[in-house]
Structure formats: structure tokens, C-alpha cells
Amino acid sequence: MKRISLPAPPGTVVSAGRGFYRHVGLLTEVVPGYPQRVISLNPGQHGYQVIEEDLAQFARGQDVTVVPLWGGLPGEEVLRRARSGLHQPYAWTLFNCEHFVRFAHALPLESPQLKAWALLGSVAALFLVSSRATA
């Protein structure tokens, strides 16, 4: 990932740290005289989970980086899909912010961070089981 340089094309996937994970979203169209905005999926009441906020609000004081993820759709179509409401509701393991940006780009739905956490949990469980078996 690389630090973002603005303005970046609409539909660009960006990421900001949130402690133990990174939150991802999509840059919106550039409107002269206004800060660039980000669309992202967040937990909340169904129907109010997609939010658009200024890049600074999205960043929450953290560095924002570009995620090298782009499907074959033009940026305007990516944003239309993100705003459409045709995606699944937020669910941490089934449809989180990573799934959302992939949905918008018409890419296979997956969450690399979730896979990494699952792998880490599996390794920790194996270590715990093996250490108890040898004790």
C-alpha cells in the first residue's frame, strides 16, 4: 500500500488504521472547493450502514493509504454500485468493509484481514493444543 496523493480517481480503494484492523472505503468524485469524500460500510442500523464522509473524518487522524484493488468497472459505476443499497447488510464475518469495496468493484467477495485473523486463530489453537498434549 502507498500513501494517498489527492485527488485520486473516483472508486479508488483507501485504507486507514483502526487499532487491530484497517478500515477500507472508496474515494468519491472530486468536487472543486470541497474535500474529497469516502464511501464506506459500517456497522449500524440496516439501511444506514453506507456512509459518506470527508477523507479526514474517515482517516480519524491516521495515515490513509491506497489499496491496489481495481476491477474492470469505471469509477462512476463503482460509486453507483456502492450507493445502490443492493449489497448485503453489514456482518463482521460475512460482509464487512472489505467485502463492500469488492462488491462495488464487481470482484469476488472476500476479506483478506478476516482470513489473516482466522489463520492466526488457527495457529494459536494448534499451539495451545500441542502445548497441552506435551505437558
The CATH number assigned to the domain holding 9 equals: 3.90.1720.10
- Domain assignment of residue 118, yes or no: no
| Residues contacting 104, CB < 8 A, separation 6+ | 11, 26, 39, 78, 79, 81, 82, 87
> Model's pTM, two decimal places?
0.81
Domain total of the chain: 1
Mean of pLDDT over the chain: 85
- Domain assignment of residue 93, yes or no: yes
Looking at the predicted structure, is the pLDDT value of residue 1 above 50?
A: no
- Domain assignment of residue 121, yes or no: no
Domain that holds residue 63: 2-110
- Domain assignment of residue 83, yes or no: yes
Looking at the predicted structure, is the pLDDT value of residue 132 above 70?
A: no
- Domain assignment of residue 59, yes or no: yes
Beta strand 2-3 pairing with 64-66: antiparallel
> Each residue of 26-49: pLDDT tens digit?
999 999 999 999 999 998 877 789
C-beta of residue 106 within 8 angstroms of C-beta of residue 81: yes
